[in-house]
Amino acid sequence: MRIAYVINSLEGGGAAFPVPAITSVFREAGHTVKVFALARRDGLAIPLCEKAGLEYCICPYGEKQPIRMFLWLRRALRAWQPDLIWTSLTRSTAMGALIGILERKPVVSWQHSAFLKAGNLRLLRALRNTPRIWVGDSEYVTEVTRQRLDLPDARMACWPIFCVRTDVPQAAPWQPGEVIRIASLGRFSPEKGYDELIDALVMLRGRDLPAFEVTICGRGKERERLETKKRALGLDNLHLHDFVHDVPDFLATQHLYVQPSHWEGFCVAVHDAMQAGLPVIGTAVGELNHSLQEGRTGWKVPPRDAAALAECMARVLSRPAELHATGCNARAYVREHFSHTNFTRIGRDILHRAMPGRA
């Protein structure tokens, strides 16, 4: 079977980075896969696709030309003649669903986000009957999708978008006298909650805590503003860096991970950190509600609450010798829940349900 995987872009992020692992499930089952990206953006997912030997093509038109983009996608899919269209994110899902109707092709659609703009929600509701299966990338997103699109169980599936690796470097225990190194990975955009993290760091100033530093790695339009805010507040222990290409190696140098997001779906970055043996302080959103077990694999705080974040960080940082044990629990959790065996089994089951010719 030929599977067209349609995605908004090949930029770095939680929807594009797992594409090689997702499509490997299809390819290992004997199917042919090609990725159709509606935009390149920063292109950080391209090396991962190329390393996996995954064929891809990118729409040459700008994102402000949706009609030309749609016509390009329809021509490209018609030329390639897929048996199944698998879409990811709202724009590609809308275009893929319309093309599925026009070309009489079955469609499967991911849902990654716990938050949708009102216009996008109306669009997905209008197209709700087109995909054979809607796939949530986490338990939380699956349930939210079921409710907001009013879908029966037979049209839903949950496929956690994370497949654990057991070969990645592991974080070492903190040693007395060391600066506690705290990481965060994510786009510099408002919903990632970095304003609240900065505010929390200000609240921690002057507290009787071991020395610590926070490093945020990513790209985005908010970086310059956050840099300005950081400098104005004199936060010398906060570092804003560019996107990290070797995430496992970077995480292995840290002692703690923080994710202050306003909302999330699955949040691959948090689970990457847990995979590396890092404990996590995160907001009680999305899949983090399941993965962060209080005091065992990490700690949860309310979103948009800098004071709660500061108090949680203070409690955790006051006991640095306990970080490694919590990180080991976090690693054990992701290895149990997101194993390669489970990842492959779920993906193949969804593919079997979606195959052309099935009722």
CA–CA distance, 218 with 149 (Å, rounded to integer):
32
Residue type, 118: A
Mean pLDDT of the chain: 96
pTM of the prediction?
A: 0.94
pLDDT digit string (tens) for 8-21? Answer: 999 988 788 999 99
Least confident range from 254-258, 338-342, 354-358: namely 354-358
Mean pLDDT of 137-144: 94
pLDDT at 113: 83
| pLDDT at 114 exceeding the cut of 80 | no
Percentage of residues in the chain having pLDDT higher than 90:
95
CATH fold label, 180-337: Rossmann fold (3.40.50)
**E-strand spans in the chain?**
2-7, 32-37, 55-58, 84-88, 107-111, 133-136, 156-158, 180-185, 212-217, 238-241, 256-259, 280-283, 298-301
Residue by residue, DSSP assigns 146-166 as: HHHHT--GGGEEE--S----S
Domain with CATH 3.40.50.2000 in the chain: 2-163+339-354, 180-337
DSSP state of 294: B
Mean pLDDT of 130-145: 96
| pLDDT at 64 exceeding the cut of 90 | yes
pLDDT at 358: 60
pLDDT at 115: 84
| pLDDT at 268 exceeding the cut of 90 | yes
CB 211 within 8 A of CB 180: yes
| pLDDT at 359 exceeding the cut of 60 | no
pLDDT at 246: 94
Say yes or no: domain 2-163+339-354 is CATH 3.40.50.2000. Answer: yes
Least confident range from 63-77, 109-123, 148-162, 310-324: namely 109-123
The continuous run of DSSP H or E covering 124 comes out as helix 118-126
